Each structure stands twice: as structure tokens, then as C-alpha cells.
Amino acid sequence: MPAGGNLLPSFNRLTTQDVPPPTPSRPQATSVTPGGPQILSIHEGETVHHRLLLVYGRAGQPDTRFEDELIYYPQNFPAQRCLVVDTHFKSLVPLEPGQNVIRFHYGGQDTYLTVYYTPLLQNPPLRLAIMVAKDSPLTFDAPPEKRGPGKNDLAAAVVKLRCAAYLWQAFTSEQMYRNGFGRRTFRLEEEWLPDTLTNQESVPRNTAQVYIVRSKLTLAEMRDPLRAQQYKPPNGQKAKESMFNVFSQAIEDYGAPFDQSCYVAALILDSHWDTKLHTITAHAALGGGIKHRQQAVFGSHCTHAWPSALEEVTPCFLDNTVTDESILANDAGDCGTYYKTANIGMGAFLHEVGHLLTLAHTPSGIMSRGFRNYNRTFMVKEPGFAPITPGDEDGSHWHRTDIIRLLFHPCLRLPTDPPALSPALSNVASSFYAIDKGILITNEAGIASLEIWVKDRLVGHLEYWQTYPRPPAQVVVTAEELRRHATWKAGDKVCLTAFAISQSRDTIQDLDGFESQHQVRLPLDHGTITAFKSDTFGDGRMQGTKSFQVFFSGSPAPFSSSKLSRILSSFHDKQALSPITHIRIYQGGFVDGFTVYLADGRSVQCGNAKGNSLDFHFQSGEQLAYINVRSGAWIDSLEFVTTTGRTTGWCGGSKGGGLHKLCPPAGYDWAGLYGSAARWLDSLGCFYCRKQVG
């Protein structure tokens, strides 16, 4: 796994439960003339934010069986044709910014549709790239009839990737619309270039930019089978760095615009079907985060079956030519014909783009292996099956959990969405707390959904978008409630993932053991009290790490001698914890440790007493409110904040790690801190107990 990233491979073992979401009720048809084209998937005068619009409609006499063609005329773009099967049609309509009046013609009748296209240039784009080897021949695998200039060279790869990306964009918009969240989709980075979305002319338009990124590796180094994702090395040999990492290095060497936070999907041009090894070399199907980038990579072994322009979409998705495995890859056994190869090539690549957009594997849809039906989103016919209505698209959909994740993704924002999260909330992680009745999950940015996982499979989820635009900052769930949304067997290890609108994904790894593992008995001079403990921030796995714990009360700090006297006497009369009077923090590049001083005169060392020290005294009546923590594998820095708003300021020099807030949940009070330290703090959590009434 790349450092700092969440790399998610495609698992062939996943099965497809291809049940798409229900198709919503359609807008009123734009034509009332019997037999004329009727537009059913979009309202007249609607505004969209992507260039290629998928339109579904009906044409021809009802209750008749036939196959024909419909012609439609996009604005300032060559006329296009689409199939009509038993009155159903699906068309891909290219738009230009501003007003678009599109004419649909069938059976001597015309229907007009007005659509407004407003690009959302404020959203971060998905960039497209093609990686080539240092000495690449600049060609990709293709059958003899598809070889030659403009067929399987770099120029052909550029136009095919561009066309595929516009299909991804249209697919996502349609899926978000069907789920009730508007026509939101990611935008592509576009330039004023000769447009290749049509093969009838070559005129400049705003069209998707494709970067050519050259690797330092030679062709032989790229095609080393030890780099191939699907290759199993013989005993004694180790796999080399994946093509995901090879691309990451190449794009880092490329520089701007990839030297800042970005999203990029890359085609590996030099992938090759090795017939001797029966392995696709120089190929990886991977997506996820690495450093400041979210990236997806995919090989070019299916690219020969992709369309280069809109005019080729229908022929490509109907091409039932059998794949010759003596020269071409049959990836995972799913590419037996060319139209199936197109599905896998574009659909599985979209699966990896889903990973870079935070999506995980799901029981059905594109993030399973539903991309085997990818053609059905755009077609009303496939070899052996017609008509394909929106309800017949099977695996070609985003799963509902994908939809919820995409709803809050910065790449898919709409102008009507609330303002973006402040920097302080943009990377806040979720916290999990055991409480008397259930589990409390908190995230100041807002919790979008909870996902229930068993054995790495999604088995259910809960949604909180109903309070959109700002989902709740905290939710309480019980095992009984979770079982109403999912089923699992006794003894199964159940994981609960909280997905926040900040895109953070945080997980309880063992739901059944969470409550028991987080309930503790705290020792006092005259007995014990029942309390809970939070999870720790930081892994606590540094070499030589040692644990610590300190117990204290969340009561206000005493200042006068009379208050102190009353508190001290309570320790002998009751079971009580002592409040904090001040904290001494030791820091350098990280937080080395801290000392907690208590009102009863004791002090407890937490971690190391070395480095620069900072003393922070609590004022009379002041309490510890919360601790801001930056952490990853260890504690990078922290900040103590009081109930009056005073703070220690950030201690520790590192700005790395995710931002967390450590404090008792509502209705509970501080009972202490615990954690571990080696050379510096590598974990920190808190104890808390129910507030006493009266």
C-alpha cells in the first residue's frame, strides 16, 4: 500500500448481486403527438453541468415490436443517430455552454428539447492521463484489422480515453439523478482543442485534456511480469512495485498540475497480453490515495474495443466479434467478445475511478462486478437481449452507498449546495464512544452514513442525508438497530464504518467487543467507579512504547484554600476523583509527553519528561473542555482547550496526521486520560463516566 493512501484493488472473488435502484418516476413527456419522440428522462428547460447528456425516451407506435433509428440534432454539432427498439431509445447528446435546443426526429415528426449547460469550473476536475514507457512504441494491443495510424497508436488512445471519460461522466449524472440528488457528476479538465467527440468533423471546442506522462522505466521494465497485478510469482521471487506506484512516480516527475492536490485517471499505454505467461503485463487495476493525489490506473489491453467518438458508441456496444486469445487478453474471462471487452475496459476503469472518489466494494453495481453490464446504461439493445429499458440495466449502477458518498464529494458539488466545509472541518475524523445504551458516533463536519461490514463485505447501511445540507454531528446506534438494517451470523466479526461529509472514513473493527472492551473499573482510594474509555488516536505501536494512565475529575479546578480543603476532605468521605490544577507539556518535533498535576497534590507523568516544557495552569472554576489531536501512526501534535476558551496552543512541531477532537460525549464527564509513548507519544485516549445529577 502506498504511504499515506488507501489503495483498493479489484477483487475477482466478489460476486454480483445485480439489483439496480428503482427507476424514479419520469418527467412528463415533451411530445404529445402519437408516435413522435417523447423525452422521458429530463424536464424541458432543465440546467445540467456536464457536456454529454444521456437522454431516454420513447418513439413509435405503442405496443409494437420493431427496430429502427432516430436522428437527433445537437446544437452546433453534427447530427447523431441512435437505435429505437420497441419504442425505447437512449441517446447521448453533446452540449455547449449556455442554451441548447436539440431536435429529435422520428417517423416524420420532430420534438424539441431545451437544456442549459453550465460548467462548474469551481469544482476540482478529474484529469486524464496516459502513461508511456521511456522507449514506448506508442501502440496498444489490437487485432490486425484495428492496427495502424489512428487505430492503435497514441493518438487513438487519447481519443478513446476522452470518449470513455465522457461516458463515465454521463453515467454518474444519470445515477445521481435517479437516486434523487440532481444531475451531479465530476467535471473533466477541458481545453480549447480540436474536438474528437465526433468523427464527422474536426473543429475546436472545449474538450477533455489528456496528459501524456512518460515514465523513467523502459518497456522491458514495465512489462516485467513481477510488476503485473495478476501474475503470481514463482516461489523465491517477489513482486516488484506495482504500476500504481510506477505511475505515481512518473506523475511526480511530470510536475504541474499534478504537484498539488488533484484527481487523475491514467491509462497505461504499454500493457501487453503475454501469451506464454497468460498474463497482462504492465497492467494494474487500482485506485486510491497516495500523497496529495487521488489516482486510478488501468491497462490498455481492452482499449481496442472502446469507441473513439459518439458515432462509434453503438457499433462498439453491439460488436459480438469473438476475442482471439492468441493475440488479445480475455481479462478475468469476461472479455470473450468485443462488446464485453468494451464493458470491462471502460466499466472496470470506472470502478477504479470510483475508488479514487472514496468508493468501496459493494454487493452490487460498478463497485462489484456490475460493470459487465456497463453497455446497458447507454443502449436499448445488446447481442441477444432487447429492449433494454432503464429498469433492465442490472449491474450498471452506483450502489446506494456509493451515491451517499458521492453526494458529499467536493468533485460533485452543485451551486445549490451549502458552502464548502471550513478548513478546520475538512479533515475531521469521527470518534466512537461506548455509552450506557449503545454507541455514540460524533463528527463535527456531519455524519453522512454508517456502513456495516462482515468479512470485508458490505451487508447493510444507515443514511443520515435526510437532514441535508448538514447531516447530524452525532448519532447513537444500538446493536438492535443495526440488526434491523443488516444480518450476520453469531461469531461474525462485524465492522462499523462512519462516513462523514468531510470524506473521512473511520471504523470500529469489532462491533460485538466494542462495548465490553471500552467499559472499565477505575481504582480509587476507597473502591472503584464504573467508567468507559474512548478509542485511542495513534496506533501505539512504536518500538519500546510504554503505556500510561491518569485519573482525574472533570470538576472545575479549585483555587482558594477553602475550596481545596473541601475537595481533599471528599477523597476520604466519598469515592471521588481529583480535578486538574495544571499541566506541563514536553515537546519537540512531536509531543514527548506531559505531566498532570492534581488538586490532591499528586502528579502523574504521561510519556517522557524531556524537550521544551510549557506550563498551563487552570484558573479557578475552569475545566478541561477537549483536546485537539493531530495523529496518524502516532501523536503529531495536540492542544488542550478549556471551558473558558483558553488553550495551550498547538504543542509539537508536526502538522501531519488527521485532526481529531478528544473529549467525553455529551452527558458524560472526564475521568482521565490513557495512552502510550516511546520516543514521543504514540497514542492517546480518554476515560469518562456518567455525570452526577445534583
* Per-residue model confidence as pLDDT tens digits over 210-240: 999 999 999 999 999 999 999 999 988 999 9
Block residue for cell numbers 438492535: 480
Average pLDDT over residues 648-666: 89
Same domain, 324 and 369: yes
Same domain, 298 and 446: no
Where a domain ends, among 85, 102, 117? Answer: 117
Q: For residue 342, which of 373, 306, 368 has the smallest C-alpha distance? A: 306
Report pLDDT digits (tens) over 492-511: 999 999 999 999 999 999 99
Same domain, 469 and 580: no
Q: Quote the pLDDT of residue 526.
A: 59
Same domain, 558 and 613: yes
The answer to whether residue 170 sits within a structural domain is: yes
Q: Quote the pLDDT of residue 130.
A: 99
Q: In which band, very low, low, confident or very high, does the pLDDT at 5 lie, cut at 50, 70 and 90?
A: very low
Q: For residue 345, which of 371, 322, 364 has the smallest C-alpha distance? A: 371
Q: Quote the pLDDT of residue 572.
A: 39
The answer to whether residue 288 sits within a structural domain is: yes
Q: Quote the pLDDT of residue 573.
A: 39
Average pLDDT over residues 437-454: 94
pLDDT at 23 exceeding the cut of 80 = no
The answer to whether residue 333 sits within a structural domain is: yes
Average pLDDT over residues 417-434: 87
pLDDT at 18 exceeding the cut of 60 = no
Average pLDDT over residues 569-592: 78
Same domain, 537 and 683: yes
pLDDT at 36 exceeding the cut of 50 = yes
Q: Quote the pLDDT of residue 470.
A: 80
Lowest mean pLDDT among 69-73, 245-249, 482-486, 564-568: 564-568
We report the CATH number of the domain holding residue 575 as 2.100.10.30
Range of the domain at 501: 431-513
The answer to whether residue 419 sits within a structural domain is: no
Number of domains in the chain: 4
Which residues, including other chains, have CB under 8 Å from residue 416's CB and lie 6 or more apart?
Answer: 182
Query: Which regions of 386-463 does DSSP assign to beta strands (E)?
Result: 431-435, 438-442, 447-454, 457-463
pLDDT at 184 exceeding the cut of 80 = yes
Q: Quote the pLDDT of residue 136.
A: 99
CA 212, 123, 176 angle in degrees (round to 5)?
100
The answer to whether residue 525 sits within a structural domain is: yes
The answer to whether residue 23 sits within a structural domain is: no
Of residues 466 and 277, more confidence is placed in 277
Where a domain ends, among 513, 546, 579? Answer: 513
Q: What is the DSSP letter of 43?
A: -
pLDDT at 562 exceeding the cut of 70 = no
Q: In which band, very low, low, confident or very high, does the pLDDT at 429 lie, cut at 50, 70 and 90?
A: confident
Mean pLDDT of the chain: 91
Same domain, 390 and 449: no
Same domain, 499 and 606: no
Q: Select the highest-mean-pLDDT range: 13-27, 449-463, 516-530.
A: 449-463
Pair 651, 638: CB distance under 8 Å = yes
**Cell digits of residue 688:** 469518562
d(CA 261, CA 8): 19
* CA distance readout (Å), 371 to 51, 348, 444, 585: 22, 6, 36, 54
Pair 402, 176: CB distance under 8 Å = no
Q: For residue 497, which of 538, 458, 455 has the smallest C-alpha distance? A: 458
The answer to whether residue 91 sits within a structural domain is: yes
Q: In which band, very low, low, confident or very high, does the pLDDT at 8 lie, cut at 50, 70 and 90?
A: very low
pLDDT at 102 exceeding the cut of 90 = yes
pLDDT at 326 exceeding the cut of 60 = yes
Average pLDDT over residues 322-329: 98
Q: Quote the pLDDT of residue 19.
A: 44
Q: In which band, very low, low, confident or very high, does the pLDDT at 555 lie, cut at 50, 70 and 90?
A: confident
Same domain, 545 and 593: yes
Average pLDDT over residues 428-457: 93
pLDDT at 563 exceeding the cut of 70 = no
Helix (H) or strand (E) holding 170: helix 154-178
Average pLDDT over residues 551-558: 81
Average pLDDT over residues 388-399: 98
Report pLDDT digits (tens) over 610-621: 999 999 999 998
Q: Quote the pLDDT of residue 656.
A: 81
Same domain, 336 and 395: yes
Same domain, 12 and 159: yes
* CA distance readout (Å), 32 to 39, 58, 83, 437: 10, 11, 21, 58
pLDDT at 451 exceeding the cut of 50 = yes
Report pLDDT digits (tens) over 585-638: 999 999 999 999 999 999 999 999 999 999 999 999 899 999 999 999 999 999
pLDDT at 33 exceeding the cut of 90 = no
Q: In which band, very low, low, confident or very high, does the pLDDT at 56 lie, cut at 50, 70 and 90?
A: very high
d(CA 159, CA 145): 18
Lowest mean pLDDT among 5-14, 328-337, 363-372, 589-598: 5-14
d(CA 92, CA 313): 9
Q: In which band, very low, low, confident or very high, does the pLDDT at 677 lie, cut at 50, 70 and 90?
A: very high
Same domain, 104 and 219: no
Same domain, 328 and 226: yes
**Cell digits of residue 584:** 506541563
We report the CATH number of the domain holding residue 67 as 2.60.40.10
pLDDT at 99 exceeding the cut of 60 = yes
The answer to whether residue 266 sits within a structural domain is: yes
Where a domain ends, among 117, 149, 183? Answer: 117
d(CA 100, CA 526): 80
Proportion of the chain above pLDDT 90, given as a percent: 81
